[in-house]
Amino acid sequence: MVVVMRGGASGTDVDKVVKAISEVGGDAFVSRGKHQTIIGLVGDPTQFAELPLHAFPGVEDVISVSKPYKLVSTETHPRPSTVWVGDTPIGRDTVTLLAGPCAVESVEQTEAACGLAVEAGATILRGGAYKPRTSPYAFQGLGEPGLDILHGVARDLDRPFVTEVVTPADVDVVAAKADMLQIGARNMQNFQLLKEVGMAGKPVLLKRGLTATIDEWIMAAEYIAHTGNLQVVLCERGIRTYEPSTRNTLDVSAVPVAQSLTHLPVIVDPSHSGGKRELVLPLIRAGIAVGADGVIVDVHNRPETALCDGPQALVKDDMLHLRETVSRYASAGGREVATVDRTRRSGAWGRSATA
């Protein structure tokens, strides 16, 4: 069950509802969005049967939600959400380009790769300082020094950035500098990490696990929302199938399916799904054509020397094609490419909200 508060409901109104729920033995989880506050009720439904929740001041509606995910469901929130990362929106009205190096290797490499990303029209930069790898002998990232490099380059380029956090112990360090926190495919069901990331209060990019169903993916988002943080963007990054021709199989059908089940934005990762440079632009076209709210792309200035995923990284000669592809396919779908909105700036980034 979910209680939807009116747009002008006061903090006192919300507190009264929460207190009433607690008094009958239930738990209340408050999610404050840009326009509305939603209170999720957890407990035995019979506990709430006698509560006149509709009559409480500031209550607009009380919704019985059939899905196991309450806060991120379209039943609760039928209007699609827009998540702001710094000055850039990710939502249904636009197509957002996130791009940068898969891994931060050095100041020079990060400056060059992020510069190419901005040249292609990226309004959010990406880069990995912490890299969970299949092999213990593969490059694991530079850690906090890499985070500092990415933070400095992103600020020099006047762009927000997203980076992966791997363990709960690193959340505070990463959240202090990153504008958006990424949960990678291998950590999609690391529930303690999901909770810690949610409580950090920053926007979260949640990648789908290699073998996760769409419901499991959305339930992972619910763990984050359960902390009161609805600033979640889902990322379809390819699932494991029997086909060896690609690194993973980009499940384009997951985009409209997820959008029908949740109000959260959904983007695609054509780099980690295809695993080959020549597949990235075609997969971008497919993703935007089915309605993805954005794409996240690997870029590298010298992929032949890359310490991580060089074969899938786009290079300088691809930047014009990348910009044109995103623009053309967004326009074909009746949308615009997301741009930076400086009017939202309020001193420090990271105070983003879900609309």
pLDDT of residue 2: 83
Candidate from 141-150, 245-254, 263-272, 276-285 with smallest mean pLDDT: 141-150
- Residue that is written with structure tokens 């080959």 in the block: 276
Candidate from 31-45, 298-312, 315-329 with smallest mean pLDDT: 31-45
Indicate the pairing of strand 94-100 with strand 294-298.
parallel
pLDDT(227) > 70: yes
Higher-confidence residue: 1 or 129?
Answer: 129
pLDDT of residue 133: 66
pLDDT(143) > 50: yes
Cα(198)–Cα(229) distance, integer angstroms: 6
Q: Write the CB contacts of 12 (distance below 8 Å, at least 6 apart in sequence).
A: none
Confidence of residue 77 (pLDDT cuts 50, 70, 90): confident
pLDDT(137) > 80: no
pLDDT of residue 78: 84
- Residue that is written with structure tokens 């870029």 in the block: 299
Long-range (24+ apart) CB contacts under 8 A made by 137-141 are: 138/308, 139/103, 139/307, 139/308, 141/103, 141/104
Question: What would the mean pLDDT of 188-209 be, rounded to a whole number?
Answer: 96
Confidence of residue 354 (pLDDT cuts 50, 70, 90): very low
pLDDT(355) > 70: no
Confidence of residue 174 (pLDDT cuts 50, 70, 90): very high
pLDDT of residue 307: 84
Higher-confidence residue: 342 or 6?
Answer: 6
Question: What would the mean pLDDT of 216-226 be, rounded to a whole number?
Answer: 94
pLDDT of residue 155: 96
Confidence of residue 33 (pLDDT cuts 50, 70, 90): low
pLDDT of residue 345: 60
Higher-confidence residue: 328 or 4?
Answer: 328
What mean pLDDT is reported for the chain? 90
H helix intervals, the chain: 11-23, 45-48, 107-119, 144-156, 171-175, 191-199, 214-225, 254-261, 270-274, 277-289, 319-332
Domain annotation for the chain: domains and CATH numbers: 2-63 (3.30.70.1140), 83-344 (3.20.20.70)
Question: What would the mean pLDDT of 181-202 be, rounded to a whole number?
Answer: 95
Express as a percent the part of the chain with pLDDT over 70. 95
What count of other Cβ atoms lies within 10 Å of the Cβ of residue 332? 11
pLDDT(131) > 80: no
The phi and psi torsions of 27 (rounded to 5 degrees) equal: -115, 140
Question: What would the mean pLDDT of 221-225 be, rounded to a whole number?
Answer: 94
- Widest CA span in the chain: 66
pLDDT(349) > 60: no
Higher-confidence residue: 234 or 143?
Answer: 234
Question: What would the mean pLDDT of 129-153 be, rounded to a whole number?
Answer: 83
pLDDT tens by residue, 270-316: 999 999 999 999 999 999 999 999 999 999 999 898 888 788 999 99
Confidence of residue 100 (pLDDT cuts 50, 70, 90): very high
pLDDT of residue 351: 36
Q: Is 172 helix (H, G, I), strand (E, B) or coil?
A: helix
